[in-house]
Amino acid sequence: MRAANPEYLLAALRGVIKAKGLTYKELADRLGVPLSTFKRHLYSPSITLEKLLDYCLEADTTLEELQKLAIKLQHDNDSFFSHTQDEVFYQFPQLYDFYRELRHLRHQDSYEHMQQKYGLDNSSTYAYLRALEMLGLVKLADDNKIQLIGPYYYRFSDDSKLSQKYKEILKEQALENPNCVRVGFSRMYLKEEQLEALNKLLAKEVLKYHSENMQNDATSQELLRNVLLFVTQHQPLAFSEGIASLPNSFLQDVKAAIANFEEQGA
């Protein structure tokens, strides 16, 4: 059996605790550790094996059972950002904006493209890429070629800070758009299964039109839309105020943040 990533072992343990109806406070009291410390341990990939075994014992599970659950979680969720990646991107949103655009570039000269488009000097360009390398998302070569690591598309988990921020920004964009197209009905008598049928019908029709336009090469920027039961003109969604030159302390700050998220519970 292949070993699961430590983050998924901890996610599996949190799942076991929830499934058994236990509370973090209850387990922390049994173990004689502060609640805040116990919570940090449950999200720290650098947790010691001894602590993990202690927590398994209190949660009435075994490391072998946890491993099986963790491997399934890892298989199902390989496209999710890890807890550390999510936290670092949330703390340094310009780094996420840089990474998102980098992943969608189709040519090989992405280093030069990002540098020229945003007026970045060599130091800032390298700092962005080195930070992404520290997060395990890219690999840098000596000739400035960039190898992307992981699946092409990443998703936000339900409890992700990035997910919440994305929804807030998208909602604000949509609702404040003066040209927003809305269709509203009031006092409609609809059953839950009928609402579900409408959701499926709408999704099917939207995807059909999207596929037709893609096949016809009608992919201009003017046609991009956000569809959220109302339609708005698409706007680039940025988490930061823009990709710009970085302070000299940026890499040191990112390194410290990664260490904090991964080692605070060690």
User: Looking at residue 232, what is its pLDDT?
Assistant: 59
The count of C-alpha atoms lying within 13 angstroms of the C-alpha of 143, restricted to the half-sphere facing its C-beta, is 4
**Residue that has been written with the tokens 């040209």 in this structure:** 179
Residue 256 near residue 262 (C-beta atoms within 8 A): no
176-180's contacts with Cβ under 8 Å and 24+ in sequence apart are: 177/232, 177/233, 177/235, 179/232, 179/233, 180/230, 180/231, 180/232
* Cα 138 from Cα 149, distance rounded (Å): 5
CATH match of 83-154+242-263 with 1.10.10: yes
Is residue 11 packed enough to be buried (19+ CB in 10 Å), middle (13-18) or exposed (0-12)? buried
pLDDT in tens, the chain (266 residues): 456 777 788 889 999 999 999 999 999 999 999 998 998 899 887 788 898 999 999 999 999 999 888 888 776 666 678 888 889 999 999 999 999 888 877 555 788 889 999 999 999 999 999 999 999 888 888 777 888 887 666 777 777 888 888 888 888 877 777 776 667 666 778 888 888 888 889 888 988 888 888 777 776 777 888 776 655 566 777 889 999 999 999 999 999 999 888 766 44
User: Looking at residue 1, what is its pLDDT?
Assistant: 44
CATH 1.10.260.40 domain span(s) along the chain: 6-76
Paired strand residues for 147: 139
User: Looking at residue 107, what is its pLDDT?
Assistant: 53
User: Looking at residue 233, what is its pLDDT?
Assistant: 62
Which residues lie closer than 8 Å to 113 by C-beta, 6 or more apart?
105, 107
* Cα 141 from Cα 156, distance rounded (Å): 28
Return the CATH class of domain 6-76.
mainly alpha
The count of C-alpha atoms lying within 13 angstroms of the C-alpha of 32, restricted to the half-sphere facing its C-beta, is 1
* Cα 127 from Cα 125, distance rounded (Å): 5
CATH 1.10.10 domain span(s) along the chain: 83-154+242-263
